[in-house]
Chains A and B, each alone.
Chain A
Amino acid sequence: MSDSLILGSNLVSFVPGVPSEDRADIMDILLLAELQASERHSREKRWEAWITAYIQALANSGLRHQGLLSQPPRKITNKAAVSSEAGKLFFGIRPVRLAQEARSALEQMFMSEHAQSYFRHSFDFSSDRSDSFQIVPCEREESGLINIAVCGLNMLTRPKPRLRPWRPVEREMVLTLRGGNFIYQQETYARHREDVKKALQAAGANDLQLISI
């Protein structure tokens, strides 16, 4: 059974076997990347730019970038189809185990009241909006390398084009996947660890400046 947790806008899922020190490193990297991307772009208003900055920040923090994840957008018109359609977006993820893990994390999310509380707005068809989150499955190879698939999902809800103007407005959701495959390796990350920790502390100090007492 995988261990899932919510960190910022990430639903991170660790397949058993990922050591706790490596988990802490990966969570540091994900958190820093989110903070850095959000400094540059609004996740809500400019998601494409945000996710690009996020992926770049992951690579800059010591994860080895193996390739981009991208699928043509899928349109859906009801909440029931979200899970299955979003799951289809994950088919291209390699290794296959990570694709399964991503789908399983997504299914868990739909079943878990807890996860839905966090991401409830993402599946709201009642208004025009853009929401996003990342599903991040992580799996350790025997060699010690950790494969990470960062699956950024954007859900854009908008009015459906009307063929007959007198018909009531219906909404559709456009699901888009952008992300990347990464590898975490302890030895490579060792060069970045201190910098990442310092950057997180600095970002924390900066956040406290904004809510000074």
Chain B
Amino acid sequence: MSNGTQRNYVNAGGLYFFGEQVPTTFEEDVLACNLYLQLAASVRHDKFNEASEWRHMYLSAMSKSGFGVLRRDVQSIPLDGQGTLWNRVEQELSKWVSSALVQQAQNTFTSFADSDGEALALLKSRTTRPLSTDQIKEPEPARIETGHSLPIPVGESGSLSAVSLQLAFIDRAPAITLVFLSFKTISPLANLPFPHLIYQEQVAGNLELTKVTVELQEHFYKRLRKGVLKKLGSRFAEQVIEVEHGQPGAQTCLIP
């Protein structure tokens, strides 16, 4: 049963947007299972330095957890100063996600601006990391020559940070569109408000963007549900935080 309102959550390193019609039980399954998958992928790969291996692990574990993949698209996009990062993401989402959910996401980002709550702190800690010089991988020369990849400039102060963010859009059960964004930025992250991160124009190198639409097969997942919740334990309440109308709200206890 749905409660008839749009809901948004920070789920560790992801922002999850649920439409009005999504049943609460489905919402719980999506949040718990995806938190589990994030943690499982992070046990094996560093999502900042091994972003593609991390994603591969995540998606492969998904298919073993009751998610059937409907479509998938992987892109490496050079951002050449035409608009913001979000403009480009929005463009990529147009045929995958309803405009209402895109708007819901945008409202959430904007409302995040003045808040500095628990949810935002959690999201930033799970999605951004300063890189040391030896961690900066230059793109292959061949890709630069063909114009498919922009070189990575290091900031004036020598600072560069990696961002790895997941966005999830759920309009109607059982479909979920997940978007994985990885990029590097020369913006100093310490005091950067979240909207600046998503609306910035200063992406260094390419934006790595993977979109995938999956369906959670309830009958398949139900045999895992108990185990997932048991293994997550208190991490579910600690890392899944509802964001009400873009403002971090009280921690939500979805599980009785």
Contact = CB atoms under 8 A, between A and B. Distances in A.
A190 interface: no
Contact of A208 (B43, B70, B71, B231): B231
Contact of B220 (A7, A24, A205, A208): A7
B206 to A, nearest CB: 28
Nearest to B215: A6
B152 to A, nearest CB: 32
Contact of B39 (A28, A117, A213): A213
13 contacts: A7-B220, A8-B217, A24-B219, A117-B70, A118-B70, A201-B223, A203-B223, A210-B64, A211-B36, A211-B64, A212-B40, A212-B43, A213-B39
B228 interface: yes
**Interface size grouping (class) on chain B:** 20 to 34
Nearest to A118: B68
A207 interface: yes
Given A7-B217, A201-B223, A205-B227, A117 B64 contact: no
Interface in A10-32: 24, 27-28, 31
Contacts of A208: 224, 227-228, 231
A212 B65 CA distance: 12
A59 interface: no
Interface of B: 36-37, 39-40, 43, 61, 64-65, 68, 70-71, 215, 217, 219-220, 223-224, 226-228, 231-232
Nearest to B231: A213
A6 to B, nearest CB: 6
Contacts, number: 51
A47 B224 CA distance: 27
B167 to A, nearest CB: 21
Interface string A114-142: 10011000000000000000000000000
Contact of B224 (A7, A8, A117, A207): A207
In the A-B complex, the 9 residue pairs with the smallest Cβ-Cβ separation, listed nearest first, are A204-B223, A213-B39, A117-B70, A200-B223, A211-B40, A204-B224, A211-B61, A208-B227, A27-B219
B227 A213 contact: no
Contacts of B68: 6, 118
Contacts of B232: 213
Interface of A: 6-8, 24, 27-28, 31, 114, 117-118, 200-201, 203-205, 207-208, 210-213
A213 B217 CA distance: 22
Most central of A7, A208, A211 by chain B CB within 10 Å: A211
Given A208-B231, A213-B43, 4 more contacts: A201-B226, A205-B227, A211-B65, A213-B232
Nearest to A203: B223
A57 B226 CA distance: 25
Given A8-B220, A204-B227, A205-B227, A213 B71 contact: no
A203 B223 CA distance: 8
A164 to B, nearest CB: 38
Contacts of B224: 204, 207-208
Given A8-B217, A207-B64, A117 B36 contact: no
Nearest to A201: B223
A54 B31 CA distance: 32
Given A27-B219, A31-B219, A31-B220, A207 B43 contact: no
Contacts of A201: 223, 226-227
Contacts of B36: 211, 213
Nearest to B232: A213
B165 to A, nearest CB: 20
A24 B43 CA distance: 35
B217 A6 contact: yes
Contacts of B65: 207, 211
Contacts of B43: 212-213
B173 to A, nearest CB: 13
Contacts of A213: 36, 39-40, 43, 231-232
